[in-house]
Amino acid sequence: MNIGVLTGGGDCPGLNAAIRAVTKRGIDEYGYNILGIKNGWDGLVEGNVAPLTLYSVSGILPKGGTILGTSRRNPLKNREDWHKVLDNIRKFELDVIVAIGGEDTLGVALKLYDEGVNVVGIPKTIDNDLQGTDYTFGFDTALYIATEAIDRIHTTAESHHRVMVVEVMGRHTGWIAVMSGIAGGADCILIPEVPFSIEEIVKIILGRKKRGKTFSIVVVAEGAKPKEIKELVTRSNKVDEFGHIYLGGIADVLGKELEKRTNMETRVTILGHIQRGGTPTPFDRILATRFGVKAVDMIKEKQFGKMAALIGSSITTSPIEEAVKEPKKVPVELYEIAKVFFR
């Protein structure tokens, strides 16, 4: 059996742990041939495929990024690319495609499955916005990085008696914001799922000041926007091949408004891609490893069109169709917990 493995979409720590697990489980347990498809779906359009061996995955577990490379190439954008993908699957005699990715990557895998190609998914994204699994790997590391950053922002905020606005990633959900905000003791957390106004934030900040708290930490998700601002704040009006706009910069807009209305010195930190870099946390290393082993066992059991999933503490499977239907949003109960401390 020839198993093609690819990593698509935004990279994250843990991808190499997953690649290592698929390769070792596949070769050692079932004697499969494992082929690495380079740079996500681009590799299948261009025919950029090379064998993965026990040697090539040795020592990559703690390494950030992906040894295969990734891209946001969308082969569904034109028929010629799509036919190249199908031709290359035949040319390299790939019996199964293991797609490690988020909604975009797994959405393409689902289309291949509809065309009769055997696919297995592994859910990956720092956004944690995939249905069908409690967690995606990459999220815990981004959460750790963001929390560590908020801890550091705390000491400088307190020293200068400032309002500090910290912007985190998460695309159109607020998982990183709400969890790192709770973990980092933020005084206000703003996420796309819950409408808010700048006036409400000002009230929290001035209320704290009245009680002698001369600094405040506001954590804002890149996809959030207050009622007073009409459009999402973006870096440019370009979109990627899956139609996603480039979010980023809401913190700058918010920071200016808050400084004006509270008359307190305000500074802004946008964490950006450091949330996607470096070595994975132990949780992500273990989750990515468990997903990788499960994905190969799913091949043995001919469980195609599904992805490995974490439900509670168990590794199981979920239909890819479910996972990509719509983003998994932050539940209001979790946000209510965060709100206990907005004062």
First to last CA, the chain: 59
The CA R_g of the chain, rounded to the nearest whole Å, is 21
171 binds ligand F6P (CB under 6 A): yes
Minimum distance from residue 248 beta carbon to ligand F6P (Å): 7
- CB under 6 A: which stretch of 166-174, 183-191, 196-204, 312-320 binds ligand F6P? 166-174
Active-site residue (options: 127, 129, 187, 284): 127
| Closer residue to ligand F6P (CB): 185 or 272 | 272
Binding to ligand F6P by residue 126, rule CB under 6 A?
yes
- Among the residue ranges 88-96, 169-177, 208-216, 309-317, the one whose residues contact ligand F6P (CB under 6 A): 169-177
Binding flag, residue 276, ligand F6P (CB under 6 A): yes
Verify binding: residue 280, ligand F6P, rule CB under 6 A: no
- Please tell me whether residue 170 binds ligand F6P under the rule CB under 6 A: yes
For residue 180, report the phi and psi dihedrals to the nearest 5 degrees.
Answer: -70, -30
Name which of 106, 169, 107, 113 is nearest 143 in CA terms.
169
Instruction: Determine phi and psi for 299, rounding to 5 degrees.
Output: -65, -45
Among 247, 251, 288, 309, binds ligand F6P (CB under 6 A): 247
Is-catalytic flag, 127?
Answer: yes
**Rounded-to-integer distance, Cα 209 and Cα 105, Å:** 47
* Candidate ranges 57-65, 124-132, 145-153, 180-188; the one touching ligand F6P (CB under 6 A): 124-132
The residue count for binding ligand F6P (CB under 6 A) is 12
The phi-psi region of residue 9 (left if phi > 0; otherwise alpha if psi is between -120 and 50; otherwise beta) is left
Enclosing H/E stretch for 99: strand 96-101
Alpha helices in 249-318 (DSSP H): 250-262, 282-300
127 counts as binding ligand F6P under rule CB under 6 A: yes
> Pattern 282-321, binding to ligand F6P, x per CB under 6 A?
----------------------------------------
**Of 148, 133, 143, nearest in space to 101 by CA:** 133
Tokens of 45: 């359009």
Q: Which among 178, 195, 133, 129 is positioned nearest to 329, based on CA atoms?
A: 129
- Helix, strand, coil percentages (3-state) for the chain, rounded to 5, are 40, 20, 40
Chosen residue from 10, 26, 40, 43 binding ligand F6P by CB under 6 A:
10
Q: How far is the CB of 133 from ligand F6P (least distance, A)?
A: 15
The residue ranges that bind ligand F6P (CB under 6 A) are 10, 72, 102, 125-127, 169-171, 222, 247, 276
Positions marked active-site: 127
